[in-house]
A and B are shown apart, each in its own frame.
Chain A
Amino acid sequence: MNHSIMIMCEPSGGRILPVTHELIFCASLIANRYNSRITAVLPGNIAGVAPISGADLLIINSPGLAQYTCEGWEKAALLAAEQIMPDIIIIAHTSTGYDYAPRVAALLEGGCITSVAGIEFTPDGIRYRRSGFHGKLDLLYKAEKTPLVITVLPGAFPAYDQPAKPGTVSYIDADINPLYTSNLQFMIPDQSNPELEHAEVIIAAGKGIGKAENLQMIREMASCFNRSAIAGSRVACDNGWIGYNAQVGLTGQKVAPLLYVACGISGSMQHIAGMKDSKTVVSINRDPDAAIFRYSDICIVEELEKFIPEFIREAEKHRA
C-alpha cells in the first residue's frame, strides 16, 4: 500500500501559515516509509503561489474561498479528495481545522482522529498517538476505514525543512459559494499584554486556585521573582479570576519564559500548546496524576493554599 496523502494548507490572508510545514513533516514520515505521494491542498482565491518544498500543491481556486468558512473549506476538501483519492487527510488542529475536519470525515464516511500528537509505525501499519482521559493516558489509534482524517496539534511536529525539490503546482477552478453563511467579519480584539510577553517568570493560576481571593497568593508568589507576570488557564479566565489577555493556551497567548509555574492547572492539550516551550516548568497540583506533571521539570503534589504561602515565606527568609 502506498498511502496517498492529502494535506490541507492553513492559509491566512493570502499566505500559507507555518503550521502547514509541520503537516508536511508529519506526512513526510509516512511518505518516506511507504513511498507515498503528498498533495497539499490550498483553498483560496489566489494567483501565483510559489511551489512548496515536500509536496505537490493543488489550489482550489474559487472566489467563494477568499475567506475561511466551514462550508467552503469542507467543499474544497471534498473536491480535492475526489481527485487525489487520499488514504490519509492531514489537517492542522487549529480553530479552522477543528471546525471543519470532523465534517469532512463524516461526509467521506472515513475514520477520524483529532489532536494527534505523534505517529508510530508497526509491521501492521501506522498508529496515531493522542492523549485522553483528562490527558492522563496515551492512546494509540488505528484507522479501520479510509480515508482517515487526522488533525495534528500545532507544535507536535517540527516544520519540514528538507532541501527537497519543490513540487508541482496545479489548479482546480471551482465555483464554491457558501450557501448558509453570510455577514462574515473578522475581529482582532486588543488582547495585548506587554507584561506577559516580556516576563521571564510566569506564575499561572488554574481551576485549582478555587476562588478569586486566592489570586492574591499568586500575585505574592510572582513578586518573589524579578520580571514576573501572572497568567491563567482557560478556566481561570472563564471564572473571571484573570483577564482573557492573560490566558495561556492554544486560543490565548503563547509564552516561553525562563520559568513557568503552573498552580492548580490540570494540563489540557490546549494549555500545554501555549506554554510547552518554557525553559523550566514547575507544577503544583494536589492531583498526583495531573497531566501537567508530564510537561514539568519539577513536580510538587500539594494543596496550593498550603504550599504557596510556605514558598513565599521561604523566599522572604532568603531575601531578609
Chain B
Amino acid sequence: MKILVCIKQVPDQESRPTVNQVRTWAGYAENASYWINRYDEHAVEEALRIREMIPGTVIDILSIGPERVKSAIKRCLEMGADRGFNLFYDRDDYLSPSIKSRLIAEFCQSEKYDLILTGVMSEDMMSGQTGPMIAARLGFPSAASVVKLEINAEKQSIQVERELDSGHRCSMELALPALIAVQSGINRPRYPSLSNVMRAKNTGIKEIRCTGSLPASQYETVERISEAGSDRAGIRLAGTTAEKAAALWQLLHEKSLI
C-alpha cells in the first residue's frame, strides 16, 4: 500500500498571535514554538499501524509551509514514516484550503496513493476543509471524524467508524483509494524510537516549490481581523492567588451557588 499523510505545523496554543498592519492576517514571534497538529499526529500513527499490518506499505508525509515545517515532517520520519515532502510556501498570509487542496491533489497525480490520511481539522484554524477537498478533487470517497479504521486488502476497501453528534457513531466500508480525516482519540501516537531517529537523520525532505502553480484568483479572503469580542461579562479577578480564591468564593456565594 502507498499512504500519504498530510500534516500541518501549528503554533503552540498559548502563543500570542500578532495581527499584521493591514489587519488581514496574524503571525507569531520568532521564538514561538510550533509542533505537529495534534489530529495529524494521530493520522501519522494510524499510517504506521497499517504498515505493521501490511508489510511493504510506504508512508509519505506532506506539509505545506515555510522552512520551519520541515521540523514537523522530520518528527514524522522519526516516528517511522518513509519519505517527507514540503510544498514550500513562505508567505505569511491566508492560504485558502481550496488552494491547499489543489496543490496537494496536483502532487498526488504522479504518486498514485491508495490511502490519504489527514487530521479532521487543524487546532489553530479548525476549518476541516483541506482533507475532504483533496478527496473531492481526486474523485476519492472520504470520511471525516474517523475514530476507528481497518484496511481490507483483499477487497481493496477500508472499514471506518465515524463519530457523529451527541456521541452517536456510524460505520461503513469505503472503496480504496480513499481519504480519511481522523479524529483524536483514535490512537495514542508513539514516541520516536532511537533507530528511527538515526534513520531520519539521513532521510532528506524533498522540497517542492509551488508558488508557480498558485491560482491567480482567490476563493475567499480574510478582510479584517479583530481581537475576539466577548459574549459575557468577563470580570478578571485580581490580586494574589489567595485573594482571587476568596473573591471567587464571595462572588459564587452572592449568587447562591456555594
Q: How many A residues touch B, CB cutoff 8 Å? A: 101
Q: Does B227 contact A138, Cβ atoms closer than 8 Å?
A: yes
Decide yes or no whether B110 CB sits under 8 A from chain A.
no
The proximity string for A residues 72-115 relative to B, scoring 1 for CB distances below 8 Å and 0 otherwise, is 00100000000000000000001110111111111100111111
| A111-B220, A140-B222, A144-B221 known; A183 vs B16 contact (CB < 8 Å) | no
C-alpha gap A247/B166 in the complex (Å): 10
Decide yes or no whether A119 CB sits under 8 A from chain B.
no
Closest CB in chain B relative to A276 CB, distance in Å: 7
Instruction: List residues of chain A with CB within 8 A of the CB of B199.
Output: none
Closest CB in chain B relative to A289 CB, distance in Å: 5
Q: Does A298 contact B13, Cβ atoms closer than 8 Å?
A: no
Decide yes or no whether A281 CB sits under 8 A from chain B.
yes
Closest to A154 in B: B165
Q: Does B98 contact A302, Cβ atoms closer than 8 Å?
A: no
Q: Contact partner of B225 among A70, A94, A139, A182, CB < 8 A?
A: A139
Decide yes or no whether A132 CB sits under 8 A from chain B.
yes
Instruction: List residues of chain B with CB within 8 A of the CB of A191.
Output: 166-167
The proximity string for A residues 2-17 relative to B, scoring 1 for CB distances below 8 Å and 0 otherwise, is 0000000000000000
Interface residue ranges of B48-87 to A (CB < 8 Å):
none
Q: Does B241 contact A180, Cβ atoms closer than 8 Å?
A: no
Q: Does A95 contact B164, Cβ atoms closer than 8 Å?
A: yes
Interface residue ranges of B1-34 to A (CB < 8 Å):
11, 13-14, 16-17, 19, 26
The proximity string for B residues 209-220 relative to A, scoring 1 for CB distances below 8 Å and 0 otherwise, is 000000001111
Q: Does B137 contact A307, Cβ atoms closer than 8 Å?
A: no
Instruction: List residues of chain A with CB within 8 A of the CB of B145.
Output: 95, 98-99, 251
Q: Does A297 contact B233, Cβ atoms closer than 8 Å?
A: yes
Closest to A10 in B: B165
Decide yes or no whether A36 CB sits under 8 A from chain B.
no
Instruction: List residues of chain B with CB within 8 A of the CB of A106.
Output: 98, 101, 132-133, 136-137
Instruction: List residues of chain A with CB within 8 A of the CB of B226.
Output: 137-138, 140
Q: Does B228 contact A301, Cβ atoms closer than 8 Å?
A: no
Closest to B179 in A: A103
Instruction: List residues of chain A with CB within 8 A of the CB of B230.
Output: 293-295
Decide yes or no whether A176 CB sits under 8 A from chain B.
no
Instruction: List residues of chain A with CB within 8 A of the CB of B108.
Output: none
Q: Does B223 contact A127, Cβ atoms closer than 8 Å?
A: yes
C-alpha gap A74/B139 in the complex (Å): 12
Q: Contact partner of B222 among A96, A139, A254, A306, CB < 8 A?
A: A139
Q: Does A98 contact B234, Cβ atoms closer than 8 Å?
A: no
Instruction: List residues of chain A with CB within 8 A of the CB of B205.
Output: none
Closest to B243 in A: A310
Q: Does A143 contact B220, Cβ atoms closer than 8 Å?
A: yes
C-alpha gap A73/B164 in the complex (Å): 16
Q: Contact partner of A225 among B127, B157, B236, B258, CB < 8 A?
A: B258
Q: Contact partner of A280 among B123, B163, B234, B257, CB < 8 A?
A: B257
Which of these binds chain B: A54-62, A159-167, A234-242? A234-242
C-alpha gap A251/B146 in the complex (Å): 12
Q: Does B126 contact A141, Cβ atoms closer than 8 Å?
A: no
Decide yes or no whether B231 CB sits under 8 A from chain A.
yes
Q: Does B234 contact A296, Cβ atoms closer than 8 Å?
A: yes
Decide yes or no whether B194 CB sits under 8 A from chain A.
no
Closest CB in chain B relative to A77 CB, distance in Å: 12
Instruction: List residues of chain A with CB within 8 A of the CB of B193.
Output: none
Closest to A140 in B: B224
Closest CB in chain B relative to A314 CB, distance in Å: 5
C-alpha gap A276/B230 in the complex (Å): 12
Instruction: List residues of chain A with CB within 8 A of the CB of B137.
Output: 106
Q: Does A95 contact B126, Cβ atoms closer than 8 Å?
A: no
Q: Does B128 contact A138, Cβ atoms closer than 8 Å?
A: no
Instruction: List residues of chain A with CB within 8 A of the CB of B101.
Output: 106
Decide yes or no whether A215 CB sits under 8 A from chain B.
no
| A103-B135, A315-B258 known; A141 vs B171 contact (CB < 8 Å) | no
Interface residue ranges of A47-68 to B (CB < 8 Å):
68
Decide yes or no whether A185 CB sits under 8 A from chain B.
yes
Q: Could you list 10 A-B pairs, sorted by A, with CB under 8 Å?
A: A94-B165, A99-B142, A104-B136, A136-B17, A186-B164, A234-B184, A244-B167, A295-B230, A302-B244, A314-B245
Residues of B within 8 A of A (CB): 11, 13-14, 16-17, 19, 26, 96-98, 101, 123-133, 135-137, 141-145, 157, 159, 162-175, 178, 184-185, 217-237, 241-242, 244-246, 248-249, 251-253, 255, 257-258
- Contacts A142-B222, A282-B248 known; 10 new A-B pairs at CB < 8 A: A94-B165, A95-B163, A96-B164, A114-B128, A142-B223, A282-B252, A294-B230, A298-B233, A299-B236, A306-B241
